[in-house]
Homo-oligomer: A and B are copies of this chain.
């Protein structure tokens, strides 16, 4: 399995997202998709997926969408609304732009469970750094 368009630094061992079952599955400038493979260790005290795990999925996918054209960026802020309990086997995330600027980008995310129900939504703001040369 390979995702040729995906920034090579996202889906790799050592990354907090990767180590916790998160993969970016599609990326182009201003759009990205990703998936969490829910594990026994994805849990919060209620036995559903931890909000921090969902946030990790969202931040990773949104950041990939914001930076997929070769720039680098850092997250300034991000908020999430937890709409209903999330469980497995998978949670899917789609990120689309509210704004794509040279300095700031604002991405929205929608997270759905395997039945297609929205479990969480969020908005992330990124500060765009200089273009990568590599």
Interface residues of A (CB under 8 A from B): 7, 9-10, 14-17, 19-20, 40-46, 49-53, 55-60, 63, 72, 74-85, 98-99, 103-104, 106, 108, 118, 121, 123, 125, 127
Q: Using known A-B contacts A77-B81, A78-B79, determine if residue A43 contacts B56 with beta carbons closer than 8 Å.
A: no
Give the secondary structure class of A's interface. Answer: mixed
Q: How far is the CA of A78 from the CA of B41 in the complex (A)?
A: 21
Residue in B closest to A50 when the chains form the complex, CB atoms? B16
A57 CB to nearest chain B CB (Å): 7
A81 touches which one: B45, B56, B106 (CB < 8 A)? B106
Q: How far is the CA of A9 from the CA of B44 in the complex (A)?
A: 9
